[in-house]
A and B are shown apart, each in its own frame.
Chain A
Amino acid sequence: MVSERSGFEHIDHTADAGIRATAPDLSQLFENAATGLFDLILNLKTVDTELTRNIRVTATDREALLVAWLSELNYQFLTSRTVFADFQVQEIGETSLVAAIRGEPLDLTKHEIYTEVKAVTYHGLYIKETTEGFEAQIIFDL
C-alpha cells in the first residue's frame, strides 16, 4: 500500500530497489518520487532544510522527465555533498520542470546514510493516470 501521507512506497526487486509513488497531480507525483529516492538513500528525519537550490530539468517525454529529475537530484547529492529532504515542483510540463529543493550539506556524523544509488533506470518505468490522479514506478540500480 502506498502510504497516503508519504505518497510513495518501496518495492521489492531481486538485486535492486524501486519505488511506487502516487499523487493527485503531476507536481506532487514528482515531489513524492523525489522523497522516495532520498528515503532510500538516507534517514530523512536527520536532515534539516536550511538551504534552497533551484533546478530546471528537461527531457523528451514525461517518463524521461521523471528519470532526468531523479538523476539530477542524485547527481546533486553525490557531487555537491548536499542532502535534500524537501522538494517543491513549481512548474511542470510534459518535457520540463522547475523546482526548489531544500536540504543541507552532508554531515556523516549527523546524517544516517543507507545506500548509494548508482543510477535511475528505465526498467519497469511508468507514469499512469488513475482515478485518484497519478501513479509512477521507478527502479534504481544500487
Chain B
Amino acid sequence: MSEVKLRKVHDYLWEIPREGGMRVPARIYATQNMIEAIRNDNAPVQAANVAHLPGIVKHSLAMPDIHWGYGFPIGGVAAFDLNKGVISPGGVGYDINCGVRLLASRLNREQVLPKMKELVQALFRNVPTGVGARGDLRVSHAVEKKVLRDGAKWAVKQGYGSEDDLEYVEENGHIAGADTSVVSKRALERGRSQLGTLGSGNHFLEVGYVSEIYDSEIARTLGLELDQVTVIIHCGSRGFGHQVCDDSLGVMNRAVQKYGIDLPDRQLCCAPIDSPEGQAYLGAMRCAVNFAFANRQVIAQWTRDAFQEALHLSPNDIGLRVVYEVAHNIAKFETHEVDGRKMKLCVHRKGATRAFAAGSEELPPAYKNIGQPVLIPGDMGRYSYVLVGAAGAMAETFGSTCHGAGRAMSRKKAKKVASGRAIARELLDRGIYVQASSRRTLDEEIPEAYKDVTDVVDACQMAGISKKVAQLRPLGCIKG
C-alpha cells in the first residue's frame, strides 16, 4: 500500500477506510494543518498496515504526534483481542517503557534562578548522561534480576526514594509477569552497567517552572501552582530494553511463518499472544518495563540529592514529590469497553501515553476525580505540558493520548541548521542553562528540529481525549 485515502470524520479525526487486507479502519487524530504534513510522511500507510494484524480491535489508532517508526508508526495505539490477537515488539519500540516522570518542588522560580548554574552542574555530576556513561550502580547479575522482577520497588528498598513515590507511578513502578528466564545474556550484559543512566538522543532531565495553568482545580489537586519549580525526567530501559527488542525480532520473524500470519510489512512481525513466542516476548518486555521504572526511581533520588547540594536546603524544603510517571512505549493488558461490552485487551502504545479518565480504578485515590495525569515533554527551548485523561479517550482510544512533539527535521538536517551556532549559548540567552555530554546532541536536538508541542496537545484536547492542565517552561536541562 503506497497511498492511503484519508476521510475526515470530524475536525480533529481522520479515517483510512478498511480496504484490502485491513481488518479494521485506521484513524488518525490531527487538525487539518497537521494532516497535510502527516500525509507527506509514510506514517499513515504504517497506521493502515497495523490494521492488517490478526485480532486487532475496533481501529488502528494514531495520535497527532504520529511519525514514521519501525513497523508501527510512532504515536500508534493498537489493541488486540487476547484470544485471537497478536503481540508485536514493533508496536512497543526499541526503548521499552521509555517514559516521563514529573516531580514538583516546594520552591518557586525566584528561589532557584540565581542558583541555576550550580543546580544544572550538580545534576550533571549526579546523573550519568550520554554514551558510555556508567552509573555508580554496577549491579551483579543476581541483583539485576531482582531489578527486572521488582522494578522501582527494588530501588525504594535500596534507599532510592520512598514507598509514597510509587503510588504515583503507572503500575506503581512494578509490572507483574516479568520472566527473567527468557532474557538473553546480551540484554543482561547491556543493562548491567546502565542502570541509573539517562542515555542520549532525546532523553533529558529538565528543571522548569509552571508557566501557565489552564484548569486551576485540577492543578490544585495535582499540587501544581504558578511559578512552582518542577523537574521532568525522560528516559527508558536503556541498552537492556534495546536488546530485548532486538532479540525478539528474529524470534517473531520466524513466528510469522510458523503461524502463517500474513503481513504487509516484515517489521510488523508478531506472534499470537498465547503462543510460546508471544509469552516469551511479554515476559522479557516486562523485565525491561521494570528496568525503566527502577531507572527513573534512582535518577529521581539523585535529582533530589543534586538540589540539596546546589541549594543547601533540606529535603523537606525542596520537596520534589512525584506528581506522576507515565510510560509511553509499552504493551499492557487492560479492560476496555468495546461496543458496549467489557473486553480484556492487549493495548500497544508506541509513542503514546495512557490517559485514563476520572473514575478509572487504576488511578491513585487522590487523582480519582480528576483523571490520570499525562506528561508531554516538548523541545529544549519551549515548553512541556501536563494533561489529564478525558472521557473521549476511554470511548475512542483505549484510554490513550499523545506523547510528545515529534521531530520536524532529521538529525542530519538539524545538525546542518545548527552548524556554526553556539546552541548552549543561544539557550542561555533565552534563560535556559543546558549541559550536555555531547555538543552534537545539542545540535541535533535544537528546538526548531521539533514540531510545536502546543499544536499536538491542543489537537488532543479538541478531540476530547485529554485535557490541558498546566504548561511548564524550562530553566535548565541536562542531556546525553
Contact = CB atoms under 8 A, between A and B. Distances in A.
Interface of A: 10-17, 41-42, 71, 75, 78-79, 81, 106, 108, 112-116, 118-119, 121-123, 141-142
Interface stretch (B65-73, B160-168, B371-379): B65-73
Given A79-B189, A142-B411, A115 B200 contact: yes
A41 B94 CA distance: 18
A79 B134 CA distance: 10
Contact of B190 (A11, A75, A141, A142): A75
Given A115-B201, A121-B70, A122-B266, 5 more contacts: A12-B412, A14-B68, A15-B69, A15-B410, A41-B131
B95 interface: yes
7 contacts: A42-B131, A78-B132, A78-B190, A79-B189, A115-B201, A115-B441, A122-B267
Interface string B229-247: 0000000000100100110
B157 interface: no
A115 B438 contact: yes
B91 interface: no
A141 B131 contact: no
Interface in B245-288: 245-246, 249, 266-267
Contacts of B94: 118-119, 141
In the A-B complex, the 5 residue pairs with the smallest Cβ-Cβ separation, listed nearest first, are A118-B242, A116-B131, A116-B200, A114-B440, A113-B131
A119 B133 CA distance: 18
Contact of A141 (B70, B440, B441): B70
B466 interface: no
Interface of B: 41, 67-70, 74, 94-95, 130-134, 186, 189-190, 193, 199-201, 239, 242, 245-246, 249, 266-267, 407, 410-413, 437-438, 440-441, 444, 480
Nearest to B239: A78
Nearest to B265: A123
Contacts of A75: 186, 189-190
A115 B440 contact: yes
A71 B193 contact: no
A42 B441 CA distance: 12
Nearest to A17: B411
A133 to B, nearest CB: 26
A141 B67 CA distance: 14
A53 to B, nearest CB: 16
A115 B68 CA distance: 20
Contact of B67 (A12, A14, A108, A118): A14
Contacts of B131: 41-42, 113-116
A15 B67 contact: yes
A99 to B, nearest CB: 19
Contact of B410 (A14, A42, A116, A122): A14
B470 to A, nearest CB: 28
B361 to A, nearest CB: 35
A113 B438 contact: yes
Contacts of B68: 14-15
B50 to A, nearest CB: 16
Contacts of B133: 108
